[in-house]
Amino acid sequence: MTTPSLQDGIDKAGSPVDLLWQPDAEPWTPEVVEREYAGWRTEQRAWHEGVALLNLSHHMFDLWIEGPDATRTLAEYGANNFDRFAVGQAKQYVPVTRHGHIVTDGILSREAENAYVLSGVPASQHWVQYHAEKAGHDVSFATDPSSAFRPGGGDPKLFRYQIQGPLALELIAKIFGSPVPQTKFFHSTPVTLDGRAFKALRHGMAGQAGYEFVGPWEHAAYVHEAFVKAGEPLGLIQVGALAYATPSVESGWIPSPVPGIYTDPELAGYRDWLPLFGIEGKRPLHGSYYSENIEDYYVSPFELGYGKMIHFGHEFHGRDALLAAKESENLRKKVTLVFDPDDVRRVVGGGAGPGFVLSYARHRVETSAGLAGVTMQTAAIDPVGTVLSLTLIDPAHAAPGTEVTVVWGEHPGRGTAPEADLGFPRIRATVQPSPFDRHARTDYRRDA
């Protein structure tokens, strides 16, 4: 039996939106780890006020890219600067279509001169592998899916543990007997723990200090237990799946934007190559914002805040489109919406304070003039005392302090006008910068 392709799914559904539209879809949270260890509120406060341990080992896909053409492949299909990419460094990889729409980012680590690991949502990995194979590049690929999709089960190849928060560096020094050598943001340094070798990637979340420790799975249990034991006197909190999915709202990273791949005739072969039962065919769309045109959901890397990562000093797929977009005054701005707490309690519930909220829905953001923007990720942030939403908004309404309303509801999809008044409740919100966290906004990458 032939495995259906993404194009098969689109053809059967009638359109890309009809394939992806799923009102009231459950929000994604990481696989395998507990939903909560100490309660989502306590876990969120841990990386703001103390120290937190996050297990990233199970929910990301890893793609090993090796061979003489590894750098050429990544540079031809990514907008990043590869002239200054050191071994041991990581970058937010930015692949775009020929029309300048992002395919979905990933974390790209350079392991050796001709060897890389691309981690995260697999859409960027599919893009790189397909084009390299089509072009006949001298490069090999090896994939380790997330634990939810690994054939036959089994363990990951790598462990990934983040230690984050104001006490993170104190805990790390305690574990290794001395501070980790000073390391630039998104660079790594080798470390050993009782003879077990792995690496420490300088990384943080929601503006807090910390490292991500990555190494072979055979050391996973030992390293995890060592962190837990050493962290007990410091009040270490393990972070569960619910809280883990929320800090991106504060740090300004929009997870898993819609890949701009569904309509270009030149990508017909790519859609035939992609499986239907993958991220491109199964990541749902929903919310109060609805359009029958999937291109209305495409985004530019400039809108996501990736402008500084784009390097025009080399030829790459989509370069001309990004050059044109760079001069556009119509690109939306990434902002944080701070929801009115009283409206949150009235509309969403939660008693004395907002209960847990996590949504990747595309909700309408309106002013008196009409549609002004679309939410991308929304979450309750207990240390802030309300709900925040990462949002793409028209430049005219992007100034901090601008008051808007969020339409909270689920459009039923085809058969109902996109702008029909469905009686959905409104939540007042105020525009603030993104990243919302001041440190993440001003100092986070200063030593990159």
Tell me the C-alpha distance between 160 and 239, whole Å. 13
35-58 as b/e: b if 16+ CB within 10 A: ebbbebbbbbbbbbbbbbbbbbbb
Q: Specify the residue for token string 């970058």.
A: 91
Domain limit, last residue, from 221, 251, 281: 251
Q: pLDDT over 90 for what percent of the chain? A: 89
Is the pLDDT at 268 greater than 80, yes or no?
yes
CB atoms within 10 A of CB 322: 22
Write the DSSP assignment of 257-282 as a string of letters.
PPPS-SS-GGGHHHHHHSBSSSHHHH
Domain limit, last residue, from 220, 251, 282: 251
Query: Quick one: 197 and 340 in the same domain?
Result: no
Is the pLDDT at 67 greater than 50, yes or no?
yes
- Considering only CA atoms, give the Rg of the chain: 22
Mean pLDDT, the chain, whole residue set: 94
Q: What are phi and psi of 345, to 5 degrees?
A: -65, -35
Residue 394 belongs to a domain: yes
User: Higher model confidence: residue 2 or residue 65?
Assistant: 65
Residue 4 belongs to a domain: no
| Domain span holding position 158 | 40-59+152-251
Instruction: Please enumerate in sequence order all residues whose Cβ is within 8 A of that of 377, keeping only pairs 6 or more positions apart, or say none.
Output: 248, 249, 254, 255, 359, 360, 389, 390
Residue 30 belongs to a domain: no
Task: Write the pLDDT tens digit of every residue in 231-260.
Answer: 999 999 999 999 999 999 999 999 989 999
Query: Quick one: 340 and 247 in the same domain?
Result: no
Residue 230's Cβ-count burial label (10 Å; 0-12, 13-18, 19+) is middle
Residue 447 belongs to a domain: no
CATH classification at residue 410: 2.40.30.110
Query: Quick one: 166 and 52 in the same domain?
Result: yes
Is the pLDDT at 446 greater than 60, yes or no?
no
Between helix 168-176 and helix 220-231 the angle, nearest 10°, is 120
- Mean pLDDT over 52-72 rounds to 97
Instruction: Please enumerate in sequence order all residues whose Cβ is within 8 A of that of 153, keeping only pairs 6 or more positions apart, or say none.
Output: 147
Q: pLDDT over 70 for what percent of the chain? A: 96
Task: Determine the distance from the C-alpha atom of residue 121 to the mean position of all C-alpha atoms in its chain, rounded to a whole number.
Answer: 8
Query: Quick one: 156 and 55 in the same domain?
Result: yes
Instruction: Name the pTM for this structure.
Output: 0.95
- Angle, CA of 446, 447 and 448, to the nearest 5°: 95
List the one residue out of 167, 234, 225, 163 whose CA is nearest residue 200: 163
Domain limit, last residue, from 251, 286, 306: 251
User: How many domains in the chain?
Assistant: 2
pLDDT at site 350:
66
pLDDT band at 209; cut points 50, 70, 90: confident
Is the pLDDT at 224 greater than 80, yes or no?
yes
According to DSSP, the β-strands at 237-239 and 52-55 are: parallel
User: Higher model confidence: residue 223 or residue 447?
Assistant: 223
Query: Quick one: 51 and 196 in the same domain?
Result: yes
List the one residue out of 121, 158, 134, 157 whose CA is nearest residue 69: 134
Residue 347 belongs to a domain: yes
Query: What is the length of the chain?
Result: 448
- Angle, CA of 103, 105 and 109, to the nearest 5°: 135
Task: Write the pLDDT tens digit of every residue in 131-175.
Answer: 999 999 999 999 999 998 898 889 999 999 999 999 999 999 999
Tell me the C-alpha distance between 77 and 94, whole Å. 8
Query: Quick one: 435 and 343 in the same domain?
Result: yes
- Angle, CA of 298, 21 and 19, to the nearest 5°: 85
Task: Write the pLDDT tens digit of every residue in 86-143.
Answer: 999 999 999 999 999 999 999 999 999 999 999 999 999 999 999 999 999 999 999 9
Tell me the C-alpha distance between 251 and 336, whole Å. 10
Query: Quick one: 199 and 346 in the same domain?
Result: no
pLDDT at site 445:
46
DSSP code at position 38 = S
Query: Quick one: 245 and 354 in the same domain?
Result: no
CB atoms within 10 A of CB 229: 11
Residue 411 belongs to a domain: yes
Tell me the C-alpha distance between 247 and 314, whole Å. 34
CATH classification at residue 46: 3.30.1360.120
What residues does 117 pair with on adjacent strands? 64, 109
**Dihedral, CA of residue 103, residue 104, residue 110 and residue 111, to nearest 10:** -110
Residue 185 belongs to a domain: yes
Query: Quick one: 50 and 179 in the same domain?
Result: yes
pLDDT band at 329; cut points 50, 70, 90: confident
The half-sphere exposure of 423 on its side-chain side, counting CA atoms within 13 A, is: 0
Write the DSSP assignment of 113-140 as a string of letters.
TTEEEEEESTHHHHHHHHHHHHHT-S-E
Query: Quick one: 54 and 156 in the same domain?
Result: yes
Task: Write the pLDDT tens digit of every residue in 334-380.
Answer: 999 999 999 999 999 766 678 899 999 999 999 999 999 999 999 99
Residue 49 belongs to a domain: yes
- Mean pLDDT over 15-23 rounds to 98
